[in-house]
Structure 1
């Protein structure tokens, strides 16, 4: 057969950098509706919703990394908390032949970008199941978040390097 490789030979792209999503999971999910059932009967103006997002990475094995997105959202109207929701949504990624210099942006930008639509859906469904309209988050600029975190780390390193 013309497509077969000689014994012991590897495909030409066997050393090419690659990454794949092995699996996804919810590590933590919390929803608080402190004013229920009254909070779902209230009318009035739209609440103020604050959302925060963080990304964490932990090496699991030689080529496996757990990437987690931590999402928190809080809705308030007139200093009354309508709901609090926290979600830690993760994925396990297999990285092969990825240069060390490429690891941080891959793990902190591209991997979270793959996970985000699923995390956003879990968050929206949870808020809706709590009696509120679904919380539809805008897409996140993970590259901007990564660059800001990198800038903060560099500033901290510079501050710590100043001799006393």
Structure 2
């Protein structure tokens, strides 16, 4: 392989047909697994721990001279397993996605696309990383179910909007 083949380019990857945004890259920004009660927490016959799961989303504009309207969307998933008042494990992932928009995307549709569509596209990757992380920590794989990012957006930012719903579907 030549050195040039290993170098990232600044060119946009072509967007998928019908997708109004371009995904430039996806990456783990931070990852953590704590196993504070090991090896006692892994004994056979113990009751299943109680899970506390939190998902947080954020989006910010990245200053980039070459790419107009470059954004970073982050998905943070925190999973804490508790048994008898003690932490069994704590797993956290902060996952980032760098995206830009097609020129035709109106300003009023950009925020919902960042906070609904980008997390929807990235979630399968985050789910797999969380599953592998907990399994690597000695526990059964944590299998996260589907997440309704539209409902999360509506709960956080406002009421039902039919044109918005049509734009993201």
Deviation at 1:118, TM superposition (A): 0.2
Give the TM-score normalised by the residue count of structure 1: 0.79
Could you report, residue by residue, the CA deviation over 1:24-55 in whole angstroms, capped at 9, with x for unpaired residues?
Answer: 10001011000112212243221110100011
Equivalent residues, number: 137
Give the TM-score normalised by the residue count of structure 2: 0.76
Report the Cα distance in structure 2 between the residues aligned to 1:129 and 1:59, rounded to whole angstroms. 34
- Please, which of 23, 26, 29 is the counterpart of residue 27 of structure 1? 29
Could you report, residue by residue, the CA deviation over 1:78-136 in whole angstroms, capped at 9, with x for unpaired residues?
Answer: 11210011110111112122111101110000000000000011111001100100101
Report the Cα distance in structure 1 between the residues aligned to 2:74 and 2:56, rounded to whole angstroms. 8
Q: Is the 8 A contact 1:63 1:96 kept in 2?
A: no
The aligned counterpart of 1:149 is 156
**How big is the alpha-carbon RMSD for the aligned residues of Structure 1 and Structure 2?**
1.7
Report the Cα distance in structure 1 between the residues aligned to 2:142 and 2:36, rounded to whole angstroms. 17
- Please, which of 124, 128, 134 is the counterpart of residue 127 of structure 1? 134
Q: Which runs of 5+ in 1 are unaligned?
A: 1-15, 153-164
Report the Cα distance in structure 2 between the residues aligned to 1:118 and 1:79, rounded to whole angstroms. 31
